[in-house]
Amino acid sequence: MTQPLTDAQRKHELGLLARSLRQYLVWQRELGADGAPRPSAEELAQHAARVRAAERRAFEQEMGTDEPDTPAAAPAAEQPPAPRQAPPRSPDNPREALRRAAEALTEDTSSNTSEKRGNIYRFNNLMQSSASANRRPKRPAAPEGGATHRLSEVQRELDGCSRCALCRGRRNIVFGAGGPSPRLMFIGAAPGVNEDRQGRPFVGKAGQLLSRMVKAMTLDRKEVYVCHAVKCRPPGNRAPRAEELDTCRPVLEQQLEIIQPEVVVTLGEVAARSLLKVPQPLSKLQGEWQVWTSSGGARVRVMPTLHPDHLLRHPEDKGLAWQHLQKVMAVMNLKG
């Protein structure tokens, strides 16, 4: 004879059932199933704004703008896609199988603990497998000859580089880091002591500030590409010399031509003047759109701004740098 459930067991089983049904309703809402209205574009925008509001307010206070300047006019909101036609309901339809499993859970009045638990686990497995089948396919990994592979080839060719005197004091060549298909690229001047130790760009305090800047733009460090105009640390963290920049420029241009970013943000005067090959100081370039042209004739927008190291030393300039980033957001249709 089956033993009756204790209060604790009943509470645990009801909790499992409630959590499973809650997950099911969320999944149904995402797919736009019958009886679960799809959120409007306005509701989605409001939800996204609420999620980011606290971080944005904290960042803007840090950047010195409690009331952020009005960015350039944003483009008209994209129209939500037309609702998808519900697939025919058949025994093989995973959504129908989920519906039947949910009904079995809600109608189950059995006191058999193992039977109830089996129904719940069966429902969870159905939900996960069906959701995986209907999820948008991920972007495939870069094939051989793709951007990631070509960058790796350039990096391998650079291993053990001794083209200039910087090779004598470096620990690591700091090539660059980022996602496989970044829309945005940041270029600094040269690695510092932390970057030289770890072999990765912008990993110290300046890198932490850069990560917060990227996040405030509604992006992640994995969605952008970050590198330096010079790949080895100059002694004493001095500014790289003209001959050192000239030596590394072909590598930087290869990175740009392979990645093909929509926008480049140069950090500091050295990076801006080196990339654009102009004599003007940063005070004349910052915040104004420039253009870099590849050897093949491709044109890329460039936004010169202040280096995170400068912003750490002069926090009163953070508001100015944030205005520059807002211009980039407007061009890239990034809505904060």
CA distances from 68 to 48, 138, 160, 246, 335 (A): 18, 35, 46, 39, 14
Tens digit of each residue's pLDDT (9 = 90 or more) over 231-240: 999 999 999 9
Torsion from C-alpha of 198, 199, 202, 206, nearest 10 degrees: 40
CATH of the domain at 253: 3.40.470.10
Q: 321 near 213, Cβ under 8 Å? A: yes
Q: How far apart are CA 25 and CA 23, in angstroms?
A: 6
Range of 263's domain?
147-331
97 and 196 housed in the same domain? no
Same domain, yes or no, for 215 and 300? yes
Interval 64-112: pLDDT, tens = 655 444 444 444 444 545 544 544 444 445 556 655 665 665 555 555 5
pTM: 0.62
Residues 281 and 316 in one domain: yes
- List, for residues 7-56, the tens digit of each pLDDT value: 776 776 777 666 666 766 666 665 555 454 556 667 666 766 665 666 66
Based on the domain organization, do 248 and 154 belong to the same domain?
A: yes
Q: How many domains does the chain have?
A: 2
Residue 83: inside a domain = no
82: in domain: no
Q: Quick check: is 81 in a domain?
A: no
Are residues 237 and 279 both part of a single domain? yes
- For residue 318, is it within any domain? yes
Model confidence at 219: pLDDT above 60: yes
Indicate whether 242 and 119 sit together in one domain: no
Q: Is residue 109 part of a domain?
A: yes
Q: Report the pLDDT value the prediction gives residue 227, as an integer from 0 to 100.
A: 98
Residues 156 and 301 in one domain: yes
Q: Do 125 and 216 fall into the same domain?
A: no
* Structure tokens that stand for 325 in this block: 């980033």
Find residue 178's DSSP bridge partners.
225
Same domain, residue pair 305 and 262: yes
